Structure 1
Amino acid sequence: MCVRCGPWLWWCSTFLLLMTSMPAGGSMEGAAVTACGPYDSTRWWSLARWINITTRELTNVRHCQDLPMSAGQASFCSDDARLGFERTRVMARASLATTRECARQFADRRWNCPSFLSAEHANKPLFGEAVTRLHTREAAFLHALMAASSTHETAQACSQGKLSSCGCSMPDQAELSALYPNTSSSSSGPSIHDVITASSQRPSSAVTSAMVTERSLAKHKRVRPRCGDNIEYGVRASREFHRTIEVEQSDSSSPRCTARFSRTLMDRHNEEAGRQIVKRNTKLRCRCLGISNSCSTQVCWKQLPVFTKVGNLLMSRYRNASLMKLDRHGTRLVVRHALSRQPSSTDLVYLGESPSFCSDNAGLDIVGTSGRECRVSQDHTPDSCDVLCCDRGYRTVTDHTTTSCNCRFVFCCRVRCDQCETVRRRHFCR
């Protein structure tokens, strides 16, 4: 076919291959998508639109195929009718919890994490095109927070009996031994130390009742394990659900295909970071039983961190996220600047700088900061007018409100108050 190409044979054949895979109209878009395969890792986030905020139940759902999920996730949902809907409901709750926590974390910033939950935005990504199309810190944060939320919600659902595939989790002997090396796991059985060392004898350091002190009680207290949050199942289920998204790594050298694979690696790293932050902050909680102040017996269980704490930890990693690039072999991400610190497994990574978010951009679903309330200050915090308003200035609105004040009781049987006027000045970005 390419007889006259001579030394340009390879380039000619590549060009002809691209031309034959190009859609009518001459655009390279279709060829790139075909080469790389389908990839939509955020589609399932829209499950938040299908859940009733009051009852936290899925509404108007008959089949898993009706829900906004990839084909792999739909099969994950359909494997067992009852279990499938239970797991999907947990993921929908995780998505809704993410919208709330993200809005709380970014409330005072230029990008305030808007979520498009209403029916009129059904065709939009839950957090807009900016998160889906741009490889920024904001996208890194949301992927980590969503994975953390799915882990958190699943672990809680297990301990609350809301998932038929799992139950609560008991702390194991090693965890209790690490907390109290010389304690026993029950009031009558052998000590944890004995179990681990397979010794049939009590520790030789046991003391007589005459020598019992507050310190020795702390050393020889007995611990009873109690069922708690199942973090192991939560991590496993979250990882399984996220990995069911079909991502085809192609050998194509198309820039779009390379960018897509880079984004896949970025998302996977950040999602795993979110899960690990939840897991590492799941602590063993104990409560004393027995005589006052002696604490001779304790009940211990695993307890998840409050989700707002997870959000705070991820927000600190958002501020210190690492800028990455694909290595020269095209197989993994490396830091873009040689002198930068290599990110750990719980750090966030991103591939491109964020836009300013100052002006509206309909294509990226960015609404800008015009009309946002700001705070007049000189400290250059994210919510200060000089930062939030992007040097456009601000307008001041003065509100006058009248409220009851200086209230006092008058004998007999009535309260008399003065009317006080309060003046409040509010500032809004132009």
Structure 2
Amino acid sequence: MVCVVCVLLLGVLRCVLGTYPIWWSLAVGPQFSSLASQPLLCSSIPGLVPKQLRFCRNYVEIMPSVAQGVKVGIQECQHQFRGRRWNCTTINHTLAIFGPVLDRATRESAFVHAIAAAGVAFAVTRACAEGSVAVCGCDSRRKGPPGDGWKWGGCSEDLDFGNMVSREFADARENRPDARSAMNRHNNEAGRIAIADHMFLKCKCHGLSGSCEVKTCWWSQPDFRTIGDYMKDKYDSASEMIVEKHRESRGWVETLRPKYAFFKPPSEADLVYYETSPNFCEPNGETGSFGTRERVCNVTSHGIDGCELLCCGRGHNTRAESRREKCHCVFHWCCYVSCQECTRTYDLHTCK
């Protein structure tokens, strides 16, 4: 089914590539796997604007971490939307890895831009702290007076550097005076703010027999799943905007303002969008929808992952599926576990 839809999508991809951040394709397929094993030629990365190309040449050793960050962001997107009609599917063998879905200024576009920008900041910051990149390291400013019962130690992660890389690279193409660039810049920054808002003190005890005579702490990023969960909440509460045009010295400029004045205006940490999402029920080459036919649904759920909503009222099919699993596991002293292998039958529900 996906291959058939991919064929439908190919006809509109040329229109998409004009504004599409196709450097995201670094995160999937053979491009990603080759980054760590071959010298990187910046000019060979598709879709880089001049500012990104200059950044790549100046910080070439950071580029594998940039690609890793986009990959982490895509994987988190697919986890968060696994039970939704749009499940963050990527298309192989094309530069526009999400198809035309992100060509519209929808909630989905807002989330993907935010989680990708956050992923780049996260991966670069982590690589610096781990010593994988020579041009950066720990946050040297995290020194000074200790806290109550602890002192600064370890390697505080330098999120400012990671954010700088994300801002310089991910935002490089968002310099047009139009509404879409304004939306993308806002959502990219919201993704980076999400990490800053979840930084925490991570501590380690030192002393004999595990005592905590001395406790050293450092500033650490959270697990990226925490960021994904937070950004998914932001997706659900994203603010709808309207586009306004006004003339400045540089010409006509588009800006965004909240559509509903009686709602609280969005903060820098909120996601914004200004176009309505398709319902993603049926395949549509123009919108990039794959539809939900053959998707696995949860027959007991009344949420969006349930068979009624996910299948868009078309109903579902049920078939038995056998799986081989470990069973009758026994712990033996000392120290291993032995298990048998059993065949169990489950009901699998898929959308019609």
Question: Structure 1 pair 237/406, CA: closer, same or farther in 2 (3 Å)?
Answer: closer
In the alignment, is residue 335 of structure 1 matched against residue 258 of structure 2?
Answer: yes
In the alignment, is residue 66 of structure 1 matched against residue 44 of structure 2?
Answer: yes
Question: Structure 1 pair 59/362, CA: closer, same or farther in 2 (3 Å)?
Answer: farther
In the alignment, is residue 111 of structure 1 matched against residue 77 of structure 2?
Answer: no
Q: Among 164, 169, 187, which residue is 2:139 paired with?
A: 169
RMSD: 3.0
Query: What is the CA deviation profile of residues 4-24 of structure 1, one whole-angstrom value per residue up to 9, with x for unaligned ones?
Result: xxxxxxxxxxxxxxxxxxxxx
State the alpha-carbon separation in 2 of the partners of residues 418 and 274 from structure 1: 46
Q: Which residue type is aligned with residue 387 of structure 1?
A: L
State the alpha-carbon separation in 1 of the partners of residues 224 and 263 from structure 2: 30
Identical columns (%): 33
Q: Any residues of structure 2 matched to 1:286-301 within 5 Å, and which?
A: 286-290=203-207, 295-301=212-218
Give the corresponding residue for 1:225.
153
Q: Among 117, 120, 125, which residue is 1:155 paired with?
A: 125
Q: Among 181, 185, 189, which residue is 1:264 paired with?
A: 181
Q: Which residue type is aligned with residue 295 of structure 1?
A: C
Question: Structure 1 pair 356/167, CA: closer, same or farther in 2 (3 Å)?
Answer: same
Question: Structure 1 pair 163/401, CA: closer, same or farther in 2 (3 Å)?
Answer: closer
Question: Structure 1 pair 333/246, CA: closer, same or farther in 2 (3 Å)?
Answer: closer
In the alignment, is residue 130 of structure 1 matched against residue 130 of structure 2?
Answer: no
Question: Structure 1 pair 311/327, CA: closer, same or farther in 2 (3 Å)?
Answer: same
CA offset at residue 366 of structure 1? 1.8
Contact (CA 8 Å) 1:359, 1:367: kept in 2 or not? yes
Q: Any residues of structure 2 matched to 1:41-56 within 5 Å, and which?
A: 42-49=21-28
Give the corresponding residue for 1:204.
none
Give the corresponding residue for 1:98.
73
Q: Which residue type is aligned with residue 318 of structure 2?
A: T
Give the corresponding residue for 2:234.
317
Query: What is the CA deviation profile of residues 187-209 of structure 1, one whole-angstrom value per residue up to 9, with x for unaligned ones?
Result: xxxxxxxxxxxxxxxxxxxxxxx
Q: Among 315, 340, 344, which residue is 1:393 paired with?
A: 315
State the alpha-carbon separation in 2 of the partners of residues 162 and 419 from structure 1: 42
Q: Which residue type is aligned with residue 99 of structure 2?
A: G
Question: Structure 1 pair 398/50, CA: closer, same or farther in 2 (3 Å)?
Answer: closer
Contact (CA 8 Å) 2:174, 2:184: kept in 1 or not? no
State the alpha-carbon separation in 1 of the partners of residues 329 and 135 from structure 2: 59
Query: What is the CA deviation profile of residues 177-230 of structure 1, one whole-angstrom value per residue up to 9, with x for unaligned ones?
Result: 5xx2xxxxxxxxxxxxxxxxxxxxxxxxxxxxxxxxxxxxxx5x4514322221
Q: Which residue type is aligned with residue 380 of structure 1?
A: H
Q: Which residue type is aligned with residue 98 of structure 2?
A: F
The residue matched to 2:122 in structure 1 has which SS? helix
The residue matched to 1:363 in structure 2 has which SS? coil
Query: What is the CA deviation profile of residues 205-260 of structure 1, one whole-angstrom value per residue up to 9, with x for unaligned ones?
Result: xxxxxxxxxxxxxx5x45143222211111111111123226343xxxxxxxxxxx
Displacement over 4 Å in runs of 4+: 50-53, 58-62, 291-294, 400-408, 417-421
Q: Which residue type is aligned with residue 49 of structure 2?
A: S
Contact (CA 8 Å) 1:134, 1:352: kept in 2 or not? yes
Q: Which residue type is aligned with residue 313 of structure 1?
A: Y
CA offset at residue 58 of structure 1? 4.5
State the alpha-carbon separation in 1 of the partners of residues 343 and 86 from structure 2: 35
CA offset at residue 421 of structure 1? 6.5
Q: Which residue type is aligned with residue 111 of structure 1?
A: W
Whose strand proportion is higher, 1 or 2?
A: 2
Question: Structure 1 pair 56/304, CA: closer, same or farther in 2 (3 Å)?
Answer: farther
Give the corresponding residue for 1:186.
none
Give the corresponding residue for 1:202.
none
Give the corresponding residue for 1:369.
292
State the alpha-carbon separation in 1 of the partners of residues 45 and 341 from structure 2: 55
CA offset at residue 399 of structure 1? 3.1
State the alpha-carbon separation in 2 of the partners of residues 281 and 407 from structure 1: 40
Structure 2 unmatched ranges of 5 or more: 1-14, 247-252, 331-338
Question: Structure 1 pair 156/419, CA: closer, same or farther in 2 (3 Å)?
Answer: closer
Q: Which has the larger radius of gyration?
A: 1
Number of paired residues?
323
Q: Among 158, 161, 169, which residue is 1:241 paired with?
A: 169
Q: Which moved more, 1:352-361 or 1:284-293?
A: 284-293
Q: Among 257, 268, 273, which residue is 1:345 paired with?
A: 268
Question: Structure 1 pair 247/59, CA: closer, same or farther in 2 (3 Å)?
Answer: farther
Contact (CA 8 Å) 1:40, 1:70: kept in 2 or not? no
Give the corresponding residue for 1:257.
none
State the alpha-carbon separation in 1 of the partners of residues 57 and 151 from structure 2: 42
The residue matched to 1:332 in structure 2 has which SS? strand
TM-score under structure 1 normalisation? 0.68
TM-score under structure 2 normalisation? 0.82
